[in-house]
Amino acid sequence: MEIRPISPHYAASPQLQPADIARAAEAGYKTVVCNRPDDEGEGQPKAAAMAAAARAAGVDFRFLPIKPGSISRDAMAAFNDILATAKGPILGYCRTGNRSATLWALSKAPLLSPDAICAATRAAGFDLAAMRPRLEAAFAGDADRAAVIRHDVVVVGGGAGGLAVIGSLLKRKPGLDVALIEPREEHFYQPGWTLVGAGVFKPAATRRRLMDVVPDEVQLIRGAVAAFRPEDDEVVLEDGQRVAYTALIVAPGLKLDWGAVPGLAETLGKNGVTSNYSYRGAPYTWELVKGLKSGKAIFTQPPMPIKCAGAPQKAMYLSADHWRRSGRLKSIDIEFCNAGGVLFGVPDYVPGLMKYVEKYGIDLSFGENLVAIDGPARKATFEVTKDGRTERVVKDFDMIHVCPPQTGPDFIKASPLADAAGWIEVNPDTLQHARFPKIWGMGDGTSTPNAKTAAAVRKQAPVVAINVLNQLKGRAAVAAYDGYGSCPLTVEKGRIILAEFGYGGKLMPSFPEWMIDGKQPTRAAWLLKERLLPPMYWQGMFKGREWLAQPNVTFKPVGAP
């Protein structure tokens, strides 16, 4: 628990756990306010559990959920009512504490000077400098008159897509006026989590501070997008700040919907329930694999689309290989429960994978979708579809590796940028938005029918950079994305089937067959995954070094006859 006092009456904190409520009471806090909606993140306790802990500790509990980017007038009225009626001192919390601190700042804006508010929140560890124009407007008596920040190019999202396209832009035009909007303070090399789950990488090797990977010349705006206003060429942040652009690149990633499977968020990381899709989960995968001597191990895959579609079975093969090497494989029953109907979406790679399925004695179960999990009882419920009929089946497990359902981010689904399925609607070739020409999309959050992988981002970044710079010059898009994606399928420790393909499942190998035959397991592909791809990510993609990512550039507008 990290309580950060802002005033004598109010403090804010990152996510609390039920056990923290009693400690807050011991520290003298009389009321706890939860500003985080239920099921927002993995392992997050629900408000009901927090309320029960508050009752047990004799503390008043208020639930005022604030979605990132939605601090409305009604929310402020409700918060002001809490400040006026609740016993103090008050402790507010959300994921990072920022929303709780922002609520306090806005509540005091008509009364305190911006200098005083920013000084108080800064002393508590919250940087609210970006919302200063709104504070100044409120102090002057006009809360709607927030100044507009303007940049030539605005990038939303500090993940692989956002940082890669910034690198490609600055490579072609040093000194370009670029701003990055991102609320998180850390960046993760998510492709490395498969090897964390196999004991090959340490978790810390996949994590860096965001400020250490953002170029110095880029204006980093710490905040979350609340709304897109394409008719005004603006985005609005959760604190009300408006950011205007000449070109907007949206690379928000996707949402791992842990809350879509009842029981999953509460038990992830314990009771034998793990996932390599989580920074905290990947080390637990390795802990479970090492410790399992016998029993049932289940690996799940939800309906498509998901990012890195091979990741669920990568974890399965590496686990099975460890059990084989340690002489335990015959004592462990392995089942792959796949909501889809095929082992892998590109048929050319299936024969090589099937050899390992047979080698490890894996039971393939298609049409089986995880819909609930009871961690303490170690039971998983699946909806099983067969011959047009669907029924629910409960399976026992000693270990279960879960790939969560995945959707477009909530703030994208609620925006005019989204298609009917909730993804950023873009042209699959140019990556320009289908309806708003000044907006471009890339990465896992778009509607393009390619594999959602870091390799796809590596290829998309120069395409978007070229087309955006052309747009700034008043020219048409001339670079096209071919749908390339790559999935290094770790079939055993030391060998990988390197699947590389584009739109329509067309094979797109990067190396000659004598060097790496992607349809067969090779040591060379393992060395690529373990030794070369991490520096290509950190030192290549983010710095505009477009290794294995040369864009397809035409001499006429893409799509022109």
Q: Indicate if 308 belongs to the active site.
A: yes
Q: Indicate if 487 belongs to the active site.
A: yes
**Backbone φ, ψ for residue 8 (5° rounding):** -60, -25
Which residue in 437, 438, 441 sits closest to 418, CA to CA? 441
* Choice among 94, 337, 403, 487 that is catalytic: 487
- Using DSSP bridges, classify how beta strands 90-93 and 10-13 pair: parallel, antiparallel or unpaired: parallel
DSSP H stretches of helix in 240-327: 264-267, 281-291, 311-325
* Choice among 34, 94, 118, 308 that is catalytic: 308
Phi/psi zone of residue 405: left (φ > 0), alpha (ψ -120 to 50 degrees), beta?
A: beta
Dihedral, CA of residue 404, residue 409, residue 413 and residue 419, to nearest 10: -80
- Helix (H, G, I), strand (E, B), or coil: what is residue 324? helix
Is residue 111 exposed (0-12), middle (13-18) or buried (19+ Cβ within 10 Å)?
A: exposed
The pair of structure tokens assigned to 103 is 């609520």
* Positive or negative: CA dihedral 58, 59, 60, 61: negative
The pair of structure tokens assigned to 7 is 């005033």
The C-alpha atoms of residue 509 and residue 208 are separated, in whole angstroms, by 31
- Using DSSP bridges, classify how beta strands 379-386 and 389-396 pair: parallel, antiparallel or unpaired: antiparallel
**For residue 428, how many C-alpha atoms fall within 13 Å in the half-sphere facing its CB?**
11
Residue numbers annotated as active site: 308, 487
